[in-house]
């Protein structure tokens, strides 16, 4: 397989890998590194790629596992530092617009969710994977995904109305 053929397969879902890694690792730099690493691993195993039924789901699973490893390893100590830098830079970036403000609040709400729910929201509501695909990626049963998703969505709804009623920002 040539580099061009490989990239034709991989590039369409590259950003999905990145956004998933971002949900796990929070820091943009770490997420970039994770994406690069996963694609590099895929490239090394490129002879096997054609035998995978769903390369994208496989790559997403790899990303998930890689990120969990990263979080477990000692590197996770550094991530917290990067995390605080990251939120600061971001909130100042689009602070001015009211819509962006409320979108940022949603972002913070979602970041406050348990990790599993956060990832499922990302995979379903952002990337629009089916329950079957999410089940493959995360190694979970579809019913479990549905329950977690519903719980996550309801938590967001509750938090929004709370904020709305008390005017807390």
In the complex, the residues that contact another protein under the rule CB under 8 A are 3, 6-7, 10-11, 14-15, 17-19, 22, 31-32, 35-36, 39-40, 43, 99, 102-103, 105-107, 110, 122, 125-128, 130, 146-147, 149-150, 153-154, 156-157, 160-161, 164
Q: If we measure between CA atoms, which residue out of 166, 147, 167, 144 comes closest to residue 155?
A: 147
The distance of Cα 108 from the centroid of its chain, to the nearest Å, equals 14
Distance, CA of 53 to CA of 32 (rounded, Å) = 26
Distance, CA of 66 to CA of 59 (rounded, Å) = 10
Distance, CA of 39 to CA of 6 (rounded, Å) = 10
Whole-number minimum distance, CB 35 to another protein, in Å? 5
Q: Which is nearer to another protein, 43 or 58 (CB)?
A: 43
Q: Which is nearer to another protein, 15 or 69 (CB)?
A: 15
């Amino acid at each position: 397989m040539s580099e061009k053929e490989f990239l034709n397969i991989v590039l369409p879902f590259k950003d999905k890998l990145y956004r998933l890694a971002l949900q796990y690792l929070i820091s943009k730099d770490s997420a970039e590194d994770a994406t690069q690493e996963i694609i590099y691993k895929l490239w090394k195993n490129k002879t096997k790629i054609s035998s995978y039924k769903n390369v994208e789901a496989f790559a997403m699973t790899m990303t998930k596992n890689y990120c969990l490893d990263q979080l477990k390893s000692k590197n996770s100590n550094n991530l917290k530092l990067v995390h605080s830098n990251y939120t600061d830079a971001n909130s100042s970036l689009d602070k001015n617009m009211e819509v962006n403000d409320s979108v940022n609040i949603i972002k913070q709400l979602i970041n406050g969710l348990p990790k599993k729910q956060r990832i499922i929201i990302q995979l379903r509501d952002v990337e629009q994977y089916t329950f079957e695909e999410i089940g493959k990626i995360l190694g979970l049963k579809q019913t479990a995904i549905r329950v977690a998703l519903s719980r996550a969505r309801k938590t967001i709804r509750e938090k929004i109305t709370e904020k709305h009623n008390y005017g807390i920002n």
